[in-house]
Amino acid sequence: MSKIPIPQIRQQQCIITVNITTSQLTCHNYLHSLCHHNAGTGTTVTAATFHHPPPPPLSPPRHHHHHPTPTPPPHPDLPALLSFKSSSDISNNLVSWTHSPDPCNHTTPFIGVSCLHNRVTGLVLEKLNLHNRFDSLTSLVKLRVLSLKHNHLTGPIPNLSNLTSLKLLLLSHNQLSGDFPPSLPSLFRLDLSYNNISGPIPATVNRLTHLLTLRLENNRISGSIDFINLPNLNDLNISMNNVTGKIPVTLSGFSESVFLNNSGLCGLPDRECANSRPDIPSPVPVPVPSTAAVLGKNNDRGSGKNKISTVAVIAIIIGDVLVLALVSLLLYCYFSGKKINGNNNVIKKSEKSVYPSSTASSFEKGRMVFFDGTRKFELEDLLRASAEMLGKGGLGTAYKAVLDDGNVVAVKRLKEVAVGGKREFEQQMEVMGRLRHPNVVSLKAYYFAKDEKLLVYEYMSNGNLFWLLHGNRGPGRTPLDWSTRLKIAAGAASGLAFIHTFGPSLKLTHGNIKSTNILLDRSGNACISDVGHSAITPPAAAPRSVGYRAPELLSANNRKSTQKSDVYSFGVLLMELLTGKCPSVDNSGLLDLPRWVRSVVKEEWTAELFDLELMRYKDIEEEMVGLLQVALSCTSGAPDQRPTMDYVVKMIHDIDGVEVSPCRDAVDSASDSP
């Protein structure tokens, strides 16, 4: 054994790096810190840090002080929860809250409580016979989701201004009273329906710029709503209240049912507002001279007492001709506003020409079918609208259509569909029409006829992800910053997770996840388009985006997409966001982006794969690596090793700084959530 002197001595510490296989390291001599090493012939490199105890005392201490183990501080959210249980849980349904001092302890979980970073962020307590008030819950400052639906809570809604992170507030079916709650700027969904809320809706409601849902039906709310302007609102109901005044243009896209049973509200089809056009004065009756009066005026101008002058005769003839022309014009306009069916029966234009599904005429004439909550229009309105082609795909051509009333929709004209007939097509459309999520492009209507099939979607004004990432790469380009990319990743993940979990028995898939199918609305939220298209696309027109397709789908014998193949495509999409590279075509031909990324990671050049446009941003390396790990997990070669999209949402959510769509919060699994 040889002694190896340590060149740099630090008090009570020895740090060495050596090649060893049989290692028996002995350190002694506290003043000189010499380490002994029984050298071997191995090649393993090991770094070790040795902390030396102090020399033994010359004599033992006279007294020994035993310090008890300190008691951990109480959880900051526990007092608020226990206070609420004490006042509201008369049926002892929250007994699990007394089993542990830590509400975020996974071993003994609190019913209805979810946590993040050891703080309570979700509280879903529905149908638990809870009574009295919930003021104590305002101390849960990290709360994101609060759902107390279907209980017996009373009193006014407390001041929730401390809950700055609150995204969902669902309090329907209680006995809450008092005024509309103060503004909560971060709120996405607000449901106060079936309570006793009174008073007007305050103007501060317009500060809720992120609000998607506003449910206020069956309350005692009064006052006007003509000032409401919530740009992202897609779920509204203020029926069965006492609101008055005119329905504003900003809410005119909602169906009549959301405004019913408000006696003082005007603007509905059967209750037009008086003086709705104040800029045009009311018609004033103009006195028309009678024939006798005309004759009387001309008596002194004729050659005889009972004779009419030539000028008067000409005037009468011209007047008669004008009256006949006017009557003819009115009759023409009246009947041109109606349609005549095959039996010469008049059909009012206000009624849709919807023929019974059992007759052949319905297949020949076609029908426009709308889904709830969308503004109705006729096929003629679409045909008359100014159109701009947005792009072509395997299923058909997409257009931007501006209707006469200013509404903008996206229309996809289908070339051909792979369905057996009208009924199968309608069933598929019914499923697509029920998909309602902030990160999924909504199908508003469809038209089916033998030779013409149209799909009508909400229009996304900010284009698609492909153009944002790859368009105009050169001087003057506005780069896509990191926070926006992370937000897009979170939104797209949330939308795809919703599709996969919608009706578990359906096992829905998308089948064509790629950057051109990730659209952005006016707020920059990512929305998945072309949902359900894979089910009606003919095999010959199936998606050819090879760069996104899972390896198990590349064989000629297996082209049917699965949820696991969707996860793979989403992983490629994440790599596209991180690298700025298009996964399909490179200068040398086809680029297998997942294989390239894995090769770079294997060579430990991870920093080299990130998009150069991201290098200008500071302190984002950990977040980029975190998202890269998600992408690598999604693109595993074995389908069974890929995570579910629900778990992908959670992984992205755990990356610091990302704001995940609120509809993927715990409340979505709660009963009859909106």
Q: What is the pLDDT of residues 26-41, one digit of tens each?
A: 444 333 333 433 334 3
Do residues 444 and 482 both lie within one domain? no
Do residues 538 and 562 both lie within one domain? yes
Examine the fold and report which residue of 222, 237, 266 is the final residue of a domain before the chain moves on: 266
Per-residue confidence (pLDDT) for residue 544, from 0 to 100: 58
Do residues 662 and 577 both lie within one domain? yes
Q: Return the CATH number at 643.
A: 1.10.510.10
Q: Say which residue, 418 or 265, is predicted with more confidence.
A: 265
Q: What is the pLDDT of residues 553-571, one digit of tens each?
A: 877 566 788 999 999 999 9
Domain-embedded: residue 635:
yes
Per-residue confidence (pLDDT) for residue 542, from 0 to 100: 57
Do residues 125 and 240 both lie within one domain? yes
Do residues 400 and 546 both lie within one domain? no
Do residues 181 and 122 both lie within one domain? yes
Q: What distance in Å separates the CA atoms of residue 578 and residue 593, rounded to the nearest whole number?
A: 11
Per-residue confidence (pLDDT) for residue 74, from 0 to 100: 82
Lowest mean pLDDT across 12-16, 88-92, 174-178, 477-481: 12-16
Do residues 538 and 619 both lie within one domain? yes
Q: What is the pLDDT of residues 198-256, one digit of tens each?
A: 999 998 899 888 888 899 999 999 999 988 988 878 788 999 999 998 888 888 778 88
Whether residue 130 is predicted with pLDDT greater than 70 in this model: the reply is yes
Per-residue confidence (pLDDT) for residue 92, from 0 to 100: 93
Q: What distance in Å separates the CA atoms of residue 5 and residue 32, rounded to the nearest whole number?
A: 9
Do residues 580 and 487 both lie within one domain? yes
Q: How confident is the model at residue 288 (pLDDT cuts 50, 70, 90)?
A: very low
Do residues 490 and 610 both lie within one domain? yes
Per-residue confidence (pLDDT) for residue 409, from 0 to 100: 87
**Rounded average pLDDT over 335-356:** 34
Q: Is 217 exposed, middle or buried (0-12, 13-18, 19+ CB in 10 A)?
A: buried
Domain-embedded: residue 487:
yes
Per-residue confidence (pLDDT) for residue 406, from 0 to 100: 77
Per-residue confidence (pLDDT) for residue 123, from 0 to 100: 92
Domain that holds residue 611: 465-669
Query: CA–CA distance from 422 to each of 219, 357, 443, 623 (Å)?
Result: 43, 9, 18, 49
DSSP per residue, 213-247: EEE--SSEEEEE-TT---TT--EEE--SSEEEEEP
Per-residue confidence (pLDDT) for residue 70, from 0 to 100: 63
Give this prediction's pTM.
0.47
Work out the number of other CB atoms within 10 angstroms of the CB of residue 274: 7
Whether residue 408 is predicted with pLDDT greater than 60 in this model: the reply is yes
Domain-embedded: residue 274:
no
Q: What is the pLDDT of residues 450-474, one digit of tens each?
A: 777 888 988 888 889 998 998 866 5
Per-residue confidence (pLDDT) for residue 172, from 0 to 100: 94
Whether residue 503 is predicted with pLDDT greater than 60 in this model: the reply is yes
Per-residue confidence (pLDDT) for residue 312, from 0 to 100: 52
Per-residue confidence (pLDDT) for residue 305, from 0 to 100: 38
Three-state SS at 248: coil
Domain-embedded: residue 58:
no
Q: Say which residue, 656 or 293, is predicted with more confidence.
A: 656
Do residues 424 and 481 both lie within one domain? no
**Rounded average pLDDT over 131-155:** 93
**Rounded average pLDDT over 488-494:** 96
Examine the fold and report which residue of 226, 241, 266 is the final residue of a domain before the chain moves on: 266
Domain-embedded: residue 221:
yes
Per-residue confidence (pLDDT) for residue 143, from 0 to 100: 92
Do residues 6 and 98 both lie within one domain? no
Domain-embedded: residue 447:
yes
**Cα–Cα nearest to 445, from 533, 531, 378:** 378
Count structural domains, the chain: 4
Q: What is the pLDDT of residues 265-286, one digit of tens each?
A: 887 544 556 544 333 333 333 3
Whether residue 576 is predicted with pLDDT greater than 90 in this model: the reply is yes
Report the mean per-residue pLDDT for the chain: 74
Q: What distance in Å separates the CA atoms of residue 33 and residue 62, rounded to the nearest whole number?
A: 30
Whether residue 534 is predicted with pLDDT greater than 80 in this model: the reply is no
Rounded percentage of the chain residues whose pLDDT exceeds 90: 28
Using alpha carbons only, give the angle 108, 112, 118 rounded to the nearest 5 degrees: 60
Domain-embedded: residue 285:
no
Whether residue 11 is predicted with pLDDT greater than 70 in this model: the reply is no
**Cα–Cα nearest to 465, from 444, 443, 487, 496:** 487
Q: Return the CATH number at 453.
A: 3.30.200.20
Examine the fold and report which residue of 266, 292, 307 is the final residue of a domain before the chain moves on: 266
DSSP per residue, 613-664: GGTTSSS-HHHHHHHHHHHHHHT-SSGGGSPPHHHHHHHHHTSTT----GGG
Per-residue confidence (pLDDT) for residue 364, from 0 to 100: 44
Domain-embedded: residue 255:
yes
Per-residue confidence (pLDDT) for residue 426, from 0 to 100: 80
Do residues 6 and 104 both lie within one domain? no
